[in-house]
Amino acid sequence: MAFYHQSTLSTHLVARWLVLGLIALSVVECRRNLLFESYATYAAINCRKHTAFLTDFGGISDGKTSNTAVFQAAVQNLSQVADDGGAQLIVPPGRWLTGSFNLTSHFTLFIQFGAVILASQDAGEYPLVESLPSYGPGGRFSSLIGGSHLTDVVVTGDNGTIDGQGSVWWKKFNRKKLRNTRPYLIELMYSTQIQISKLILIDSPSWFVHPVYSSDIIIQDLTIRAPVDSSNTNGIIPDSCNNVKIQDVNVVSGDDCVAVKSGWDEYGIKFGVPTEQMIIRRLTCNSPNGSVIALGSEMSGGIKNIRAEDITAINSQSGVRIKTSPGRGAYITDIFVDGMNLQAIDSVFWTTGSYGEHPDLGFDSKALPVVDRINYRNVVAEDVKMAGNMSGIDGNPFTGFCLSNVTIGFGTQQENRLWNCTGVSGVSSNVKPEPCDVLADKGPSDCEYPPDPVPIDVLELNTCSFSTIG
pLDDT at 351 (0 to 100): 98
Q: Three-state SS for 377? A: strand
pLDDT at 37 (0 to 100): 64
Residue 35 class from Cβ within 10 Å (0-12 exposed, 13-18 middle, 19+ buried)? exposed
Residue 192 class from Cβ within 10 Å (0-12 exposed, 13-18 middle, 19+ buried)? middle
pLDDT at 470 (0 to 100): 64
Q: In terms of DSSP bridges, do strands 128-129 and 140-141 run parallel, antiparallel, or are they unpaired?
A: antiparallel
> Is the model more confident about 273 or about 9?
273
pLDDT higher than 80, residue 450 = yes
Residue range 14-30: average pLDDT?
Answer: 35
pLDDT higher than 90, residue 250 = yes
Q: Would you place residue 222 in the very low, low, confident or very high pLDDT band (cuts 50, 70, 90)? A: very high
What is the distance between the alpha carbons of residues 280 and 220, in angstroms, rounded to a whole number?
10
**CA-wise closest residue to 205 among 238, 227, 221:** 227
pTM: 0.92
pLDDT at 361 (0 to 100): 96
**For the chain, what percentages of helix, strand and coil (3-state, to nearest 5) are there?**
15, 45, 40
Q: What is the pLDDT of residues 364-396, one digit of tens each?
A: 999 999 999 999 999 999 999 999 999 999 999
| Dihedral class, residue 18 (left if φ above 0, else alpha if ψ from -120 to 50, else beta) | alpha
pLDDT at 423 (0 to 100): 97
Q: Three-state SS for 87? A: strand
pLDDT at 6 (0 to 100): 38
Catalytic annotation, pick one of 216, 255, 256, 346: 255
Q: What is the pLDDT of residues 396-409, one digit of tens each?
A: 999 999 999 999 99
Establish whether 256 is a catalytic residue. Answer: no
The rounded mean pLDDT for the chain is: 92
Q: What is the pLDDT of residues 124-182, one digit of tens each?
A: 999 999 999 999 999 999 999 999 999 999 999 999 999 999 999 999 999 999 999 99
pLDDT higher than 70, residue 24 = no
* Spatial CB neighbours of 237, under 8 Å, sequence gap ≥ 6: 207, 208, 209, 210, 211, 258, 259, 260, 261
CB 199 within 8 A of CB 157: yes
pLDDT higher than 60, residue 442 = yes
pLDDT higher than 80, residue 10 = no
pLDDT at 421 (0 to 100): 96
What is the distance between the alpha carbons of residues 222 and 340, in angstroms, rounded to a whole number?
20
pLDDT higher than 70, residue 21 = no
What is the distance between the alpha carbons of residues 136 and 51, in angstroms, rounded to a whole number?
40
> Is the model more confident about 36 or about 356?
356
> Is the model more confident about 160 or about 36?
160
pLDDT at 425 (0 to 100): 97
Residue range 289-304: average pLDDT?
Answer: 98
CB 185 within 8 A of CB 145: yes
Question: Of all residues in the chain, what percent carry a pLDDT higher than 90?
Answer: 89
* Spatial CB neighbours of 378, under 8 Å, sequence gap ≥ 6: 338, 339, 340, 404, 405, 406
Q: Any idea what DSSP says for residue 83? A: T
Residue range 278-301: average pLDDT?
Answer: 98
pLDDT higher than 60, residue 5 = no
pLDDT higher than 70, residue 46 = yes
CA 209 vs CA 95, 141, 199, 378, 403: distances in Å: 21, 15, 12, 29, 31
What is the distance between the alpha carbons of residues 390 and 121, in angstroms, rounded to a whole number?
41
Residue range 459-465: average pLDDT?
Answer: 98
What is the distance between the alpha carbons of residues 380 and 406, in angstroms, rounded to a whole number?
6
Q: Would you place residue 469 in the very low, low, confident or very high pLDDT band (cuts 50, 70, 90)? A: confident
pLDDT higher than 50, residue 235 = yes
pLDDT higher than 70, residue 284 = yes
